[in-house]
């Protein structure tokens, strides 16, 4: 998933006027008073122009101040009022559109843009394009004396365009509101009013979406896929297969010609290969098996070419639902703050997959990818988060969660005190590098049950964290780690952990993370992964990491992979998108004195993480 760097689009609009001579005299008088009394010097503020008192300017000003637009379906616009005010201040509260000779062309182009919002995965109905198109002919004929009607139409066009561009850049839903712990933006890097006025002055509105949409290569590929899958959904009939038992090469099934037709129409089998078999004796041949294998490979299934119940169910998912999955993926990509260049680690939770990038800003293949195991769907879900990998622990301890200590380990210790030694466990007062083992006795058992003492597992073969864990401080106390349970990576569905992410290739990831630290050669990493004691290595340069959740993902070749919604996040997002309210900027940016949620735990980097999930 690469991106292109994006230059700040549009400069902030300046609306202040030079101070008058009388205001300068007033300032000098205040200056002398401050000198005589020892007060701090007052700043020289520019005087704001008074609001217009007559004509269309008054009507525009009054409407914006009211934060209500009765001509639009979503009448309230408190969250877009600041941008509306900035836009019309820059236009001296004159119409942005209707006073121009090219008004009809520009407005028509704007409304066509809003009508085509579906190409970006947005709903055109949110932007009143149809209603405004109906109003346009009459609005163009309004005389100058019809100030209120002209003001109403002009601001309606502007507000609808602002809403569309804001949704396209930031998304329609606050990710934090649905428990996606992504970083808030530090500041605005895009000036929507300035972009609108610049586009208007150039006489071209159509290029605006390209200036505000995410510059991620993943976004571009998914947009192309959205068009393709919409076309498929319109012309390809749904496939409903009745598969009682798995179908292998050489087996017969009465619906194989339906299957072949569907695979040809969706591109899983090349069109030229569509040959007719004898209807009375259809056989599942190698060609069908290869088509099914290709389908399985990008639908989160084991790519074995066997037509089983799971594959039949995935084939039966309406293509309109695949369209929805792509639309939701585009929405989630809008939530990401601007990502710079350099190394990056991406985990897509429902894909059970991780990609490592040398430079996320370049459209280059990932040099390292691997299967992962994520949190259990019904119990211990892996969170969505953004963080910075800071250090690596070779041969780590496993800090046992209190719930497991109380409910599982303490009863076993009461029944068999030797369990502590056999499982390589130790009792400690705290999870720290300096902690000393506490003897097992009646008092320590009671304190374990009360949570006053803790249990951890020493490094070794039985340790569920394996030989290495990768740490990125976060409020959910999750991390990447090795695992002794290698067989789980062979399953197509891999939600078995307690929230942390188990990785298939821990040594390769350690080599990547330490590649700029010459002392950490491949041999030294291997030695550290066999050592009897834990060793912590601080990274000289932290590596950004993203735990993301999207059920459709464009691969390097542009082909889209689809995954099951294992945590039900698609359902939650679809429900949130039903809310037609504008997204407030207060939910998008870090407020002064408030840390981004991705960095809110405040743990010192020198401290061992109290993380317990596996």
Res 16: pLDDT = 37
Distance in angstroms (rounded) separating the CA atoms of residues 383 and 165: 29
Closest CA to 562 of 278, 269, 319: 319
> Any bridge partners for residue 535, and if so which?
394
> DSSP label at 608?
P
Domain extent for 403: 397-458
The structure's pTM equals 0.86
Q: Which two tokens stand for residue 385?
A: 């988060």
SS (H, E, C) 403-421: HHHHHHHHHHHHHCCCHHH
**Pairs from 143-151 (Cβ < 8 Å, separation ≥ 24):** 144/56, 147/55, 147/56, 147/58, 147/59, 148/59, 150/56, 150/59, 150/95, 150/98, 151/56, 151/59, 151/60, 151/63, 151/95
Same-domain check for residues 509 and 605: yes
Residue 289's closest CA among 259, 258, 316, 267? 259
Tell me how far apart the alpha carbons of residues 343 and 542 are, in angstroms, rounded to a whole number.
9
Q: What's the confidence (pLDDT) of residue 595?
A: 52
As averages over each run of 10 residues, the pLDDT of the chain (614 residues) reads 41 43 51 50 55 92 97 97 97 96 97 97 96 97 96 98 98 95 91 98 97 94 97 96 96 95 94 53 89 96 96 97 98 93 96 95 90 94 97 96 92 96 95 91 95 95 95 95 96 94 98 97 97 96 97 91 97 95 93 53 36 53
For residue 523, the domain's CATH number is: 2.40.440.10
Do 291 and 379 share a domain, yes or no? Answer: no
User: Of 441, 458, 475, which residue is a domain's last?
Assistant: 458
Q: Is residue 1 part of a domain?
A: no
Do 449 and 507 fall into the same domain?
A: no
> Could you please report the per-residue DSSP string of 244-270?
SS-B-TT-B-TTHHHHHHHHHHTTSS-
**Do residues 498 and 451 both lie within one domain?**
no
100 and 130 together in one domain: yes
Tell me the per-residue pLDDT of 12-47, one tens digit each, with 9 for 90 and over: 444 334 444 444 455 455 545 544 545 554 444 445
Q: Does some domain include residue 227?
A: no
| Domain match, 440 and 487 both | no
Active site residues: 481, 500
- Does 277 share its domain with 424? no
Q: How far apart are CA 148 and CA 141, in angstroms?
A: 14
Q: Is residue 264 part of a domain?
A: yes
d(CA 392, CA 540): 11
Strands (E), 458-531: 468-471, 480-481, 495-497, 501-503
Question: Minimal CA–CA distance to 383: which of 176, 553, 600?
Answer: 176
Q: In terms of domains, do 451 and 579 share one?
A: no
Asked if 343 and 242 touch (Cβ cutoff 8 Å), the reply is no
Domain count, the chain: 4
Instruction: Indicate whether 613 belongs to any domain.
Output: yes
Q: What does the radius of gyration of the chain's CA atoms come to, in whole angstroms?
A: 30
Tell me: do 313 and 428 sit in the same domain. no
Domain membership of residue 611 (yes or no) is yes
| Cα 411 from Cα 449, distance rounded (Å) | 10
**How many CB atoms sit inside 10 A of residue 188's CB?**
14
Which residues are registered as beta bridge partners of 388? Answer: 544
Q: Is residue 333 part of a domain?
A: no
Q: What is the pLDDT of residue 36?
A: 52
pLDDT tens per residue across span 387-411: 999 999 999 999 998 989 999 999 9
Q: Determine contact, residues 438/456, Cβ cutoff 8 Å.
A: no
- Is 76 inside a domain boundary? yes
Which residue, 406, 439, 458, sits at the end of a domain? 458
- Domain at 257, CATH number: 1.10.101.10
3-class secondary-structure state, position 277: coil
Which among 458, 474, 497 is the end of a domain? Answer: 458
Report residue 297 as tokens. Answer: 């490979």
In a domain, 15, yes or no: no
- Residue 533 φ/ψ region, left for φ over 0, alpha for ψ in the -120 to 50 degree band, beta for the rest: beta
Half-sphere exposure of 428 (CA within 13 A, CB side): 17
Place of tokens 């004691």: 533
Q: How far is CA 180 from CA 85, 116, 176, 567, in A?
A: 31, 29, 5, 12
Indicate the pairing of strand 535-548 with strand 495-497.
Answer: unpaired
Same domain as 487, residue 345: yes
- Cβ-count burial of 201 within 10 angstroms (0-12 exposed, 13-18 middle, 19+ buried)? exposed
End-to-end C-alpha distance for the chain, whole angstroms: 27
The structure tokens listed for 298 are 């990008």
How would you label 497-515 residue by residue, b for 16+ Cβ within 10 Å and e otherwise? Answer: bbbbbbbbbbebbbbbbbe
Same domain for 551 and 478 = yes
pLDDT of residue 11: 43
Residues 440 and 362 in one domain: no
């Amino acid at each position: 998933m690469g991106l292109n760097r994006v230059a700040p689009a549009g400069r902030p609009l300046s609306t202040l006027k030079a101070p008058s001579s009388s205001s300068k005299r007033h300032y000098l008088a205040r200056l002398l008073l401050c000198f005589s009394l020892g007060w701090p010097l007052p700043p020289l503020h520019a005087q704001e122009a008074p609001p217009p008192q007559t004509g269309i300017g008054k009507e525009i000003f009054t409407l914006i101040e009211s934060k209500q637009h009765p001509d639009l379906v979503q009448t309230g616009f408190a969250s877009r009022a600041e941008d509306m005010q900035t836009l019309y201040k820059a236009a001296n509260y004159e119409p942005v559109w209707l006073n121009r000779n090219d008004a009809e062309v520009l407005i028509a182009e704007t409304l066509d843009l809003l009508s085509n919002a579906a190409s970006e995965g947005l709903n055109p109905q949110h932007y009143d394009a149809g209603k405004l198109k109906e109003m346009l002919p009459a609005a163009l004929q309004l005389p100058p004396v019809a100030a209120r009607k002209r003001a109403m139409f002009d601001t309606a066009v502007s507000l609808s365009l602002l809403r569309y561009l804001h949704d396209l850049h930031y998304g329609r839903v606050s990710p934090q509101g649905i428990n996606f712990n992504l970083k808030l933006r530090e500041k605005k890097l895009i000036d929507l009013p300035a972009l609108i006025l610049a586009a208007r002055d150039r006489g071209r509105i159509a290029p605006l979406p390209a200036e505000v949409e995410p510059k991620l290569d993943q976004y571009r590929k998914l947009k192309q896929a959205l068009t393709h899958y919409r076309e498929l959904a319109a012309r390809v009939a749904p496939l409903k297969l009745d598969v009682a038992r798995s179908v292998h090469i050489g087996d017969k099934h009465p619906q194989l010609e339906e299957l072949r037709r569907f695979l040809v129409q969706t591109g899983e089998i090349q069109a030229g290969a569509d040959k007719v078999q004898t209807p009375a004796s259809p056989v599942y041949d190698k060609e069908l098996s290869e088509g099914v294998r290709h389908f399985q490979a990008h639908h989160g299934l084991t790519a074995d070419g066997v037509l089983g119940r799971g594959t039949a169910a995935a084939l039966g998912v309406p293509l309109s639902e695949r369209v929805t999955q792509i639309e939701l993926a585009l929405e989630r990509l809008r939530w990401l703050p601007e990502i710079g260049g350099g190394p990056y680690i991406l985990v897509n939770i429902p894909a059970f997959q991780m990609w490592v990038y040398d430079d996320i800003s370049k459209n280059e293949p990932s040099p390292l990818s691997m299967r992962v195991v994520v949190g259990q769907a019904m119990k211990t879900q892996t969170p969505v988060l953004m963080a910075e990998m800071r250090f690596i622990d070779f041969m780590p301890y496993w800090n046992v969660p209190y719930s497991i200590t109380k409910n599982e380990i303490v009863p076993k210790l009461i029944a068999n005190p030797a369990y502590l030694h056999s499982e390589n466990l130790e009792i400690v007062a705290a999870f720290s590098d300096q902690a000393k083992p506490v003897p097992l006795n009646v008092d320590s058992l009671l304190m374990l049950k009360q949570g006053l003492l803790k249990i951890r597992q020493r490094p070794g073969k039985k340790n569920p964290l394996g030989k290495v864990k990768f740490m990125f401080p976060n409020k959910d106390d999750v991390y990447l780690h090795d695992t002794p349970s290698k067989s789980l990576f062979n399953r197509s569905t891999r939600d078995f952990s307690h929230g942390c992410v188990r990785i298939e290739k821990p040594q390769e990831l350690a080599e990547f993370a330490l590649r700029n630290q010459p002392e950490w050669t491949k041999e030294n990493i291997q030695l550290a992964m066999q050592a009897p004691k834990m060793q912590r290595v601080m990274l000289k340069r932290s590596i950004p990491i993203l735990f993301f959740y999207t059920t459709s993902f464009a691969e390097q070749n542009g082909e889209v992979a689809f995954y099951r919604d294992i945590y039900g996040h698609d359902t939650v997002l679809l429900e949130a998108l039903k809310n037609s309210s504008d997204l407030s900027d207060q939910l998008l940016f870090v407020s002064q004195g408030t840390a981004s949620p991705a960095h809110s735990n405040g743990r010192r980097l020198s401290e061992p993480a109290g993380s317990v999930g596996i």
